[in-house]
Amino acid sequence: MVKLITRRLAVLPLILLAVATVTFALTEISPFDPVEAYVGAENNVSAERKAEIAHAWGFDQPVYEKFGRWIYNLAQGDMGNSIVAGGQPVAGEIASRASASIALVGGALALVLAGGLVFGVLAAAFRGTLFDWLVRTLCYFNTAAPSFWIGLLALYVFSIELGWLPAGGTSDPRAVEAGGVDLEHLILPMVILALTQYAWFTLFVRNTMLEILREDHVQFARAQGIGELAVLLRYALPNALIPFVTLIGTHLAELIGGTILIESIFGWPGLGLLALDAARSEDIPMIVGITLCASVLVVLGNLLADVTYRIIDPRVREATT
């Protein structure tokens, strides 16, 4: 287990290097001019001044030198300076916004897991009934419906028409930073973000449960006269949980991407909104920084999934250690 973790963590810098190389290559290939983005579209900045800015930021250096400096700085945790953060370092701004996103993604993940498990198991237990049909139809509907559209409709119904929940933002961004999560403002974005992923989980749990319920050990338990509820929860569910865990890692990336839309609709001051602001101001260092952070999270998420997989499945543990 320790070997697995250290080996995977050792690969992490290599993955980051690869992502950094690809993003660097893309910025070099693209005709995008960071100086123009910095001074703004309509400006009367002279060509000399632009050249000065380019020189000050090192844009006029040869490609290999720029690449070397970018990797060197990155290795020290310096991802450059951001335009939207008023010239402050990218890393600091990302760190200050992270807690709001962690609260949002963490809450959504918990909802996805709980909802997916409950509805997936129930749908499998009542397969072929109206309830099963309803769960599956809602799931198909959910995978096809754009999250931001559902978000807009929920915003209208629950905030504007019914007035149950605040329409967006958080009353005090610093409260989130300090760790005190503003639950009232978190509910809508959290639920909508969870809805983007819950259909996959529910359908997955349902189908795995149906497969396992056909297996011999379940039939045997039934033959012994064990109640259906105990069969479901003690004989089938633990087996269904195993593949379920691996999905969490891969879908974490989707949740992170989903925050951009959800945070924009509900004005939640996390990394998604920061990425959007950066995109609107053509703030490349910030977008690249967030992309790199997302890559790290995906690697860590997959590692976490693998570790959990080993803990809960003795077959995998014994096969590899």
Please report, as ranges, the residues that interact with another protein according to CB under 8 A.
Answer: 15, 18-19, 22-23, 26-27, 30-33, 140-141, 143-146, 148-150, 152-153, 155-156, 160, 253-254, 256-258, 260-261, 264-265, 275-276, 279-280, 282, 284, 287-288, 290-291, 294-295, 298-299
Residue 81 main-chain phi, psi, to 5 deg: -110, 145
Q: List the one residue out of 92, 277, 267 whose CA is nearest residue 171.
A: 267
Residue whose structure tokens are 């509820």 = 229
Give the shortest CB-160-to-another protein separation in angstroms: 6
Give the shortest CB-292-to-another protein separation in angstroms: 10
Give the shortest CB-70-to-another protein separation in angstroms: 15
In the complex with another protein, which residue's Cβ is closer, 61 or 291?
Answer: 291
Give the shortest CB-223-to-another protein separation in angstroms: 31
In the complex with another protein, which residue's Cβ is closer, 18 or 75?
Answer: 18
List of residues 6+ apart from 10 with CB closer than 8 A: none
Give the shortest CB-250-to-another protein separation in angstroms: 9
List of residues 6+ apart from 112 with CB closer than 8 A: 194, 197, 198, 201, 251, 255
Q: Which amino acid is at 67?
A: F
Q: What is the 3-state secondary structure (H, E, C) of 138-153?
A: HHHHHHHCCHHHHHHH
Question: CB burial class (10 A; 0-12, 13-18, 19+) of residue 186?
Answer: buried
Give the shortest CB-268-to-another protein separation in angstroms: 14
Give the shortest CB-149-to-another protein separation in angstroms: 3
Token output for 126: 């009542």
In the complex with another protein, which residue's Cβ is closer, 237 or 290?
Answer: 290
Token output for 189: 């974005």
Give the shortest CB-224-to-another protein separation in angstroms: 34
List of residues 6+ apart from 80 with CB closer than 8 A: 70, 73, 89, 90, 285, 288, 289
Q: What is the DSSP string of 66-90?
A: HHHHHHHHHHTT---B-TTTTT-BH
In the complex with another protein, which residue's Cβ is closer, 108 or 265?
Answer: 265
In the complex with another protein, which residue's Cβ is closer, 239 or 295?
Answer: 295
Question: Distance (Å, rounded) from C-alpha 63 to C-alpha 35?
Answer: 16
In the complex with another protein, which residue's Cβ is closer, 199 or 231?
Answer: 199
Give the shortest CB-297-to-another protein separation in angstroms: 9
Question: Distance (Å, rounded) from C-alpha 167 to C-alpha 182?
Answer: 13
Residues 173, 175, 176: CA angle, nearest 5 degrees = 70
In the complex with another protein, which residue's Cβ is closer, 149 or 220?
Answer: 149
In the complex with another protein, which residue's Cβ is closer, 125 or 262?
Answer: 262
Q: Contact at 8 Å (CB) between 274 and 94?
A: yes
In the complex with another protein, which residue's Cβ is closer, 194 or 218?
Answer: 194
